[in-house]
Each structure stands twice: as structure tokens, then as C-alpha cells.
Amino acid sequence: MKHDKYVIFFVGGMKPAHRGHYDAINQYSGHQSVEEVLIIQGKTPREGVLGEDMVQRFNTFGGFPKNTFYVFSDEGESPISTVHRLVKDEAFLRAYDKDVTYAIGASDKTGASERTLQFPEYYKKRPGILPDNVKVGTPPFIAKTLMNKDGEPISATAIRAQMRAAKNKIFSY
């Protein structure tokens, strides 16, 4: 049985990067139909949290398989804008088979998976803006959300709230 091939864009601020991001990315990178996962992070700080430690933090968690790479948005460019730029960039597209589907990956956390549907819908409403033969779609699955010890989704927003509340206290994520 032939499987479709995917390049998955995992986009976000990831400020801070945490085990939920790590787990979702690994779910994609380990899937048989995913050729590559591109982790795309923006440069804009969130509530004073910078993204520079993302690679180091993910390496501390154990790193990623060889089909997973980092892409950093240009200054002033959002991660989703980076994805839109890449799927129109002939040099970028030449690195992949012509039959690959480009998709945005996400977890099943409330609201996160909506962008997986919005991405192909954007191009469906705007025919002709993608280069010929570029296929965008939804990912082969939505990653399962990693939960914390209280049964709540692990979230960078919640971690930043904990950081604000804790001030100088030490906590883990």
C-alpha cells in the first residue's frame, strides 16, 4: 500500500519550549508518511520569554530524529508567514519530491488543530498563488496532547502564567 508523503511544518512561538511541543513533534517525525518535520519559531518575545533556548531545551529532552529540522522566521515575520513564504519558494521546494504534501502539524489541544485546516483552505480560496504542482493539505493525523500531572494540557501560555506568579521560584516544565 502506497502512503502519501508529507512535509510537516510545526509552527509557533514555543516560548518557552516544553515537553508538549517535544512530544507532538516526535509524533510527527516518527510517522511513516512524514518525510520531514520543520520546526518554525518566530523571533518575537512573548511576555519577556525569548526563544533562543528552544534548540538547547529540545536537545536536553533527547533531541530529534534526523528528519527534523529548525527554521527560524525572519525578523518581524510570524511563523505562519514563514510557512507561506516557503511553499512559494522555488529553491526550498526543489529539496522535496514533487508528490509531497505540505501541511501544518498541531496537537489536539483546544484551538491548536484549527490551523491545520486553515492552511489548505487559505490556498483553496486563492487558486493560482502556489507554484504549479505544489500540494498543500492537512497532516496525516493530529498529534495527541501531552498532559501535566493534573490532567491539563501542557501549554506555553500556562507556563508563562506560572512564571509570572512564581517570580523567583524554581519550577519545572
50-55, Cβ contacts within 8 angstroms, sequence gap of 24 or more: 50/15, 51/13, 51/14, 51/15, 51/17, 53/16, 53/17, 54/14, 54/16, 54/17
Largest Cα separation within the chain, whole Å, is: 55
C-alpha cell at 90: 522555488
Helix (H, G, I), strand (E, B), or coil: what is residue 163?
helix
pLDDT for the residue numbered 170:
52
Q: Is 9 exposed, middle or buried (0-12, 13-18, 19+ CB in 10 A)?
A: buried
C-alpha cell at 88: 512559494
pLDDT for the residue numbered 76:
87
As a whole number of angstroms, the distance between CA 46 and CA 150 comes to 25
pLDDT for the residue numbered 1:
42
pLDDT tens for each residue of the chain, 173 residues long: 456 899 999 998 777 778 888 999 999 999 999 999 999 988 776 666 666 678 888 898 999 999 999 998 888 899 999 999 999 999 999 999 999 999 999 988 767 788 899 999 999 999 999 999 999 999 999 999 888 888 887 776 676 677 777 765 554 54
> What residue ranges define each of the domains in the chain, with the CATH number in brackets?
6-166 (3.40.50.620)
Residues in the chain: 173
Judge if pTM exceeds 0.85.
yes
pLDDT for the residue numbered 2:
54
Contact 29, 65 (CB under 8 A): yes
